[in-house]
């Protein structure tokens, strides 16, 4: 013969099941929060790296422009000296 569950025992079972479900939901939300915080940290780190790379590129550009200016100055001086030489020997 089957034993009939009382209403209170059924309510207790249901409450324990809901407690377990809420605990599982809490755990999964905590895991999601942790992963999102990790993602945020990685993104900010990536942003700082991008800023560093941009700064390095601008430094390289500045150095290149300085080198170009120096080269053009040297060329100008060479031209003027050759001009003097032509005038002198002519």
DSSP string covering 18-43, please? Answer: HHHHHHHHHHHHHHHHHHHHHHHHHH
Residue 5 resides in a domain: no
Residue 12 resides in a domain: no
Residue 87 resides in a domain: yes
Residue 3 resides in a domain: no
Residue 43 resides in a domain: yes
Residue 16 resides in a domain: no
Banded pLDDT at 1 (limits 50, 70, 90): very low
| pLDDT tens-digit series, residues 15-63 | 999 999 999 999 999 999 999 999 999 999 999 999 999 999 999 999 9
Residue 46 resides in a domain: yes
Q: Give the whole-angstrom CA distance, residue 84 versus residue 90.
A: 10
Q: Give the whole-angstrom CA distance, residue 74 versus residue 67.
A: 11
Q: Helix and strand tally (H, E) in the chain? A: 1, 0
Q: Give the whole-angstrom CA distance, residue 68 versus residue 70.
A: 5
Enclosing domain of residue 78? 22-90
In the chain, the number of structural domains is 1
Can you give the pLDDT at residue 87? 57
Residue 53 C-alpha from the chain's centroid? 11
């Amino acid at each position: 013969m089957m034993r009939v569950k009382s209403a209170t025992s059924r309510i207790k079972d249901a409450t324990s099941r809901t407690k377990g479900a809420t605990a599982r939901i809490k755990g999964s939300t905590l895991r999601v929060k942790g992963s999102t915080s990790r993602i945020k940290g990685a993104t900010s780190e990536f942003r700082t790296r991008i800023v560093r790379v941009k700064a390095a590129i601008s430094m390289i550009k500045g150095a290149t422009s300085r080198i170009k200016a120096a080269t053009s100055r040297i060329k100008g001086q060479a031209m003027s000296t050759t001009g003097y030489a032509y005038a002198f020997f002519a």
